[in-house]
Chain A
Amino acid sequence: MSQIQHAALDQQGRYNQICTRGGSCPPPADGSEPAHCPGHRSRSPRKKWQVFPGRNRFYCDGRIMMARQTGVFYLTLVLILLTCGLFFTFDCPFLASNLTPAIPAVGGVLFIFVMGMLFRASFSDPGILPRATPDEAADLERQIDSAGCSRPPPRTREVLINGQAVKLKYCFTCKIFRPPRASHCSLCDNCVERFDHHCPWVGNCVGRRNYRFFYLFILSLSLLTVFIFAFVITHVILRSNQTGFLGALKDSPASVLEVVVCFFSIWSIVGLSGFHTYLISSNQTTNEDIKGSWSTKRGKDNYNPYSYGNILTNCCAALCGPLPPSLIDRRGLIQSGTPQTVSQSNGTSNSSYASTQLHSNMQGAHP
Chain B
Amino acid sequence: MATEFHNLQELRHSPSLVTKVFIQRDYSEGTVCRFQAKFPSELDNRIERTLLEETVKTLNSYYAEAEKIGGQSYLEGCLACATAYIIFLCMETRYEKVLRKISGFIQEQNEKIYAPRGLLLTDPIERGMRVLEISVFEDRGSGGSSPSSTMSSGSSAR
Seen from chain A, the residues whose Cβ lies within 8 Å of a Cβ on chain B are 1-3, 5-9, 13-15, 17, 20-22, 24-25, 112-113, 116-117, 120, 129-130, 132-133, 135-136, 139, 159-162, 166, 168, 176-177, 179-181, 193-194, 213, 216, 305-306, 313, 316-317, 319-325, 327-328, 350-352, 354-356, 358-359, 362-363, 367
Contacts and interface: CB of A to CB of B under 8 A. Distances in A.
Interface in B116-134: 120, 122-123, 125-131, 133
Given A5-B17, A7-B12, A116 B85 contact: yes
Contacts of B129: 327
Contacts of B93: 322-323, 325
B11 interface: yes
A2 B152 CA distance: 7
B42 interface: yes
Most-contacted residue by chain A among B20, B120, B152 (CB, 10 A):
B20
The 3 A-B residue pairs with the shortest CB-CB distance, nearest first, are A320-B77, A130-B128, A327-B128
B69 A325 contact: no
Contacts of A194: 31
Interface of B: 8, 11-20, 22, 24-25, 27-31, 41-42, 66-69, 73-74, 76-78, 80-81, 84-85, 88, 93-96, 99, 103, 107, 110, 120, 122-123, 125-131, 133, 135, 145, 147-152, 154-156, 158
Contacts of B73: 320-322
A133 B120 CA distance: 17
Contacts of B68: 322
Nearest to A115: B84
A180 B34 CA distance: 13
Given A133-B127, A324-B95, A358-B150, A316 B12 contact: no
A136 B17 contact: no
B30 A306 contact: yes
Given A8-B12, A133-B127, A136-B127, A322 B17 contact: no
A162 B27 CA distance: 10
B123 to A, nearest CB: 7
30 contacts: A1-B148, A3-B152, A7-B12, A14-B103, A15-B110, A15-B122, A20-B17, A22-B152, A22-B155, A117-B84, A120-B85, A130-B127, A130-B128, A133-B127, A135-B20, A136-B127, A136-B131, A160-B28, A161-B27, A316-B69, A320-B81, A321-B67, A322-B68, A322-B73, A324-B95, A327-B125, A327-B128, A354-B154, A358-B150, A358-B151
